[in-house]
């Protein structure tokens, strides 16, 4: 069933949200840029105005010092300077040495001399207010007490320039802001199109038909990465489903054989009246098949649990040497009966953090297999050592048995995989190819590793590495 499509309100769609974000960002950027240009221009024009005032004040001071030692001539010169720049509202002021008293001021001068010093330009003070700026020079002229001369200008002309620029830039900014939603819509359209392809492709996917893959455009952007990740995930799901299908088919197949055997024993016993010996024999073989069935069902449950069940906490400190020596004791009669020498090599005392029962099963499965696949007069040796460098317990179960063909080695841990059913020694209980899968599950549960080295006709060595319990 396809994923139910929830009706989305238009303003919640990705397209509209991207468009709105784009518009908002453009609005902030344009308004910010306009404000920055205005402030930058104001700073530059004021600085330039201060430089010009400074030059003019210097020129005036030089002229007064050199040519006009007379009071009236000085005023005339200052008046001329102010009149020369009256179009920009310039004024000139003659101040007493303490700068408090105005001795003379040109017509456009502010009421009071400016009293706030903003900065120093080339070593000379620049006096500022909200509406004026002026630059001063100190003069000593023979015959006249020391005085200051200030040349100033109102800032309204600079503000006028800035307003003019704003009037030109504002319509442009407005156009950009008005066009921003269109640009946002176009951009979001471009960004969303590959997403829509992904949505269309995923709609076609079915659990039973997982061969469909999402298209990638080969540009390696985030959407390609997303499609790649989803494809990878689909590969994993498909592989998982394939394994599960095989597992169910194999399990059904394995369950069918003992059930068929049980059914035929029951049918044979019901067929006609039989002697007590014959009934005994039939019941014996039925019980044998039931035992096999129970073992198989238990193993299947164990494997399913290890895959889907919650990982059990590994809290017990298990002395692995104890588990191994008990297993060797248990298998001694079986080995003797099979004519195989079961030898315990050095067994270091090691403790691992885990669950005793599954660890016992791991060790017995490996020893059981080693005896099962070793002809009489062969040898099975078990060794347990401590790898302090890697902080691991190392268990080795080696046999001089029939070995495993190299092409089968990578598959022997798969569920139900058996190299060749006819290989197990006659008289041994028949296997079902689940033992090593269970061993691997137990080792993984204990955060360890299980590996095998084997040569056909020479023997096999199974190596288990488990982390040591911390002291």
258 is an interface residue for ligand ADP by CB under 6 A: no
Residue closest to 385 by CA, chosen among 322, 465, 446, 469: 465
Q: In what order do the strands lie in the sheet with 102-105?
A: 102-105, 91-95, 144-154, 132-141, 124-128, 116-121
Query: Minimum distance from CB of 431 to ligand ADP (Å)?
Result: 2
CA distance 345 to 342: 10
Q: Measured between alpha carbons, how far apart are the two ends of the chain, in Å?
A: 54
Which lies closer to ligand ADP via its Cβ, residue 71 or residue 425? 425
**Which residues fall within 8 angstroms of residue 41, CB to CB, at 6 or more apart?**
161, 162, 165
Query: Minimum distance from CB of 322 to ligand ADP (Å)?
Result: 23
- Binding to ligand ADP by CB under 6 A, coded x per residue (else -) over 87-126, reads ----------------------------------------
Query: Minimum distance from CB of 246 to ligand ADP (Å)?
Result: 15
Residue nearest to ligand ADP (CB): 431
**Which residues fall within 8 angstroms of residue 73, CB to CB, at 6 or more apart?**
67
Among 216, 418, 466, 469, binds ligand ADP (CB under 6 A): 418
The pair of three-digit structure tokens given for residue 209, joined into one six-digit string: 């038909």
Among 19, 109, 250, 432, binds ligand ADP (CB under 6 A): 432
Which lies closer to ligand ADP via its Cβ, residue 82 or residue 402? 402
354 is an interface residue for ligand ADP by CB under 6 A: no
Query: Minimum distance from CB of 419 to ligand ADP (Å)?
Result: 3
Among 227, 399, 448, 466, binds ligand ADP (CB under 6 A): 399
* Cα–chain center distance at 53: 61
Binding segment for ligand ADP among 52-60, 166-174, 202-210, 399-407 (CB under 6 A)? 399-407
Q: How many CA atoms lie within 13 A of 244 on its CB side?
A: 10
Binding segment for ligand ADP among 16-24, 28-36, 220-228, 431-439 (CB under 6 A)? 431-439
Among 17, 164, 312, 423, binds ligand ADP (CB under 6 A): 423
Is residue 317 helix, strand or coil?
strand
Residue closest to 311 by CA, chosen among 350, 356, 354, 352: 354
Binding segment for ligand ADP among 5-13, 216-224, 329-337, 395-403 (CB under 6 A)? 395-403
Which lies closer to ligand ADP via its Cβ, residue 328 or residue 370? 370
Query: Angle at which helices 222-271 and 276-308 pack, to 10 degrees?
Result: 170
**Which residues fall within 8 angstroms of residue 191, CB to CB, at 6 or more apart?**
18
Among 379, 431, 447, 453, binds ligand ADP (CB under 6 A): 431
Residue closest to 53 by CA, chosen among 85, 25, 30, 21: 85
Query: Minimum distance from CB of 436 to ligand ADP (Å)?
Result: 3
Which lies closer to ligand ADP via its Cβ, residue 128 or residue 434? 434
54 is an interface residue for ligand ADP by CB under 6 A: no
Number of helical (H) and strand (E) elements in the chain, helices listed first: 8, 13
Helix (H) or strand (E) holding 367: helix 356-372
Binding segment for ligand ADP among 18-26, 159-167, 244-252, 413-421 (CB under 6 A)? 413-421
Which lies closer to ligand ADP via its Cβ, residue 314 or residue 371? 371
373 is an interface residue for ligand ADP by CB under 6 A: yes
**Which residues fall within 8 angstroms of residue 400, CB to CB, at 6 or more apart?**
374, 378, 379, 380, 458, 459
369 is an interface residue for ligand ADP by CB under 6 A: yes
402 is an interface residue for ligand ADP by CB under 6 A: yes
Is residue 401 helix, strand or coil?
coil
412 is an interface residue for ligand ADP by CB under 6 A: yes
Among 105, 395, 419, 441, binds ligand ADP (CB under 6 A): 419
Which lies closer to ligand ADP via its Cβ, residue 401 or residue 448? 401
Is residue 13 helix, strand or coil?
coil
Question: If binding means CB under 6 A, how many residues of this protein chain bind ligand ADP?
Answer: 20
370 is an interface residue for ligand ADP by CB under 6 A: yes
Angstrom CA distances, 323 to 169, 208, 287, 329, 439, stand at: 87, 45, 30, 10, 15
Which lies closer to ligand ADP via its Cβ, residue 125 or residue 415? 415
CA distance 294 to 22: 67
Contact 77, 59 (CB under 8 A): no
Q: Which residues bind ligand ADP (CB under 6 A)?
A: 369-370, 373, 399, 401-404, 412, 417-419, 423, 431-436, 460
């Amino acid at each position: 069933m396809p994923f139910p499509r929830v009706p989305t309100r238009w303003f919640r769609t990705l397209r509209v949200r991207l468009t709105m974000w784009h518009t908002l960002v453009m609005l902030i950027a344009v308004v910010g840029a306009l404000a920055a240009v205005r402030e930058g221009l104001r700073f530059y024009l004021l600085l330039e105005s201060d430089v010009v005032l400074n030059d003019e004040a210097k020129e005036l001071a030089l002229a007064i010092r050199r040519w006009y030692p007379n009071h009236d001539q000085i005023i005339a010169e200052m008046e001329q300077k102010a009149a020369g720049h009256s179009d920009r509202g310039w004024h000139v002021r003659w101040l007493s040495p303490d700068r408090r008293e105005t001795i003379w001021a040109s017509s456009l001068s502010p009421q009071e001399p400016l009293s706030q010093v903003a900065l120093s330009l080339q070593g000379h003070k620049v006096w500022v207010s909200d509406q004026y700026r002026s630059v001063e020079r100190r003069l000593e002229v023979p015959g006249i007490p020391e005085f200051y001369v200030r040349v100033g200008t109102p800032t309204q002309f600079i503000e006028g320039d800035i307003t003019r620029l704003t009037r030109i830039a504002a319509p442009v900014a407005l156009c950009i802001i008005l066009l921003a939603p269109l640009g946002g819509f176009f951009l979001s359209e471009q960004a969303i199109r590959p997403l829509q392809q992904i949505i269309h492709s995923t709609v076609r996917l079915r659990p039973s038909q997982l061969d469909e893959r999402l298209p990638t455009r080969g540009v390696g952007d985030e959407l390609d990465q997303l499609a790649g990740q989803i494809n990878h995930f689909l590969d994993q799901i498909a592989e998982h489903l394939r394994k599960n299908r095989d597992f169910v088919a194999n399990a059904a197949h394995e369950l069918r054989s003992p059930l068929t055997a049980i059914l035929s024993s029951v049918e044979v016993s019901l067929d006609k009246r039989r002697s007590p010996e014959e009934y005994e024999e039939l019941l014996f073989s039925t019980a044998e098949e039931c035992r096999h069935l129970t073992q198989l069902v238990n193993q299947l449950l164990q494997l399913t649990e290890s895959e889907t069940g919650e990982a059990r906490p590994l809290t017990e400190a298990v002395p692995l040497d104890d588990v191994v020596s008990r297993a060797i004791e248990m298998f001694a009669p079986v080995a003797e009966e099979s004519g195989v020498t079961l030898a315990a090599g050095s067994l270091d005392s090691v403790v691992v953090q885990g669950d005793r029962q599954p660890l016992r099963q791991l060790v017995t499965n490996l020893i059981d297999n080693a005896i099962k696949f070793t002809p009489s007069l062969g040898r099975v040796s078990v060794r347990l050592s401590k790898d302090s460098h890697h902080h691991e317990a190392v268990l080795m179960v080696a046999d001089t048995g029939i070995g495993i063909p190299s092409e089968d080695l990578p598959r022997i841990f798969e569920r139900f995989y058996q190299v060749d059913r006819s290989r197990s020694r006659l008289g041994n209980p028949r296997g079902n190819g689940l033992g090593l899968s269970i061993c691997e599950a137990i080792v993984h549960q204990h955060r360890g590793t299980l590996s095998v080295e084997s040569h056909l006709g020479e023997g096999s060595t199974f190596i288990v590495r488990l982390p040591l319990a911390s002291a």
